[in-house]
Copies of this chain bind each other. A is one copy, B any other.
Amino acid sequence: MMVSTPAKKQVKKRVKRPLVVRGEPVVQSVIRATIEELARVGYGALRFEDVAARAGVNKTTIYRRWPQKVDLVQAALSSFAERALGRPATGSLRGDLMEIGRAIVAKSCSAQGESLVRVLMAERHPDMVAIDRALHTHFEAVPLAVVKAAIDRGEVAPDLDARVLMGTFVGALHHCIFMKQQTADETFIGKVVDLLLTGALIR
């Protein structure tokens, strides 16, 4: 028997939006609500109740699919990552990196993307280590394929460390946007890509 405290009543009332039918649309709306809540309050303060209320579903609907907060957030961020990066195929590593760079900047500068990156950087919850790793594996799929194509074309050596290349690229863009609070425009992306491709030393 649950005692109906005023706090519980309030939660009930907030969940009383039209309930979505089970299935793919529910998943999508829970995923979206999770990203929005995460960008708003961060991982530590994220509550199933608030995600449920925002998605217009029952809390148990979420629990059934993602029993732990870490599962829910990992699913949401992976889905976000998946939608963030298309697979470029411009025919050159430079062209592909430019497209990836533009996509990263666009995503990082969107209100939601910006909040997410800041939350991910600021958050030190122990769960975040596992989430970050899973997320980066996801984020790395496209860049790894791009580097593989460049190896096949003979542009780069077969032993090139694609993870170092991509981490350095993303790091440079995020440093500009989040630490220096400057605009990462086309010229800036181009300068970073050229540095990564040809290096600083005189050839």
Q: Are A196 and B200 in contact (CB under 8 A)?
A: yes
Q: Which residue of B lies closest to A156 (CB)?
A: B200
Q: Which residue of B lies closest to A42 (CB)?
A: B122
Q: Oligomeric state, in number of copies?
A: 2
Task: Knowing A156-B202, A201-B197, A202-B155, say if A171 contacts B175 (CB, 8 Å).
Answer: yes
Task: Knowing A118-B121, A197-B201, A201-B93, say if A192 contacts B168 (CB, 8 Å).
Answer: yes
Against B, the Cβ 8 Å flags (1 = close, 0 = not) of A164-188 are 1101101111111011110000001
A1 within 8 A of B: no
How many A residues touch the partner, as a band? Answer: 35 or more
Q: Which residue of B lies closest to A132 (CB)?
A: B181
A64 within 8 A of B: no
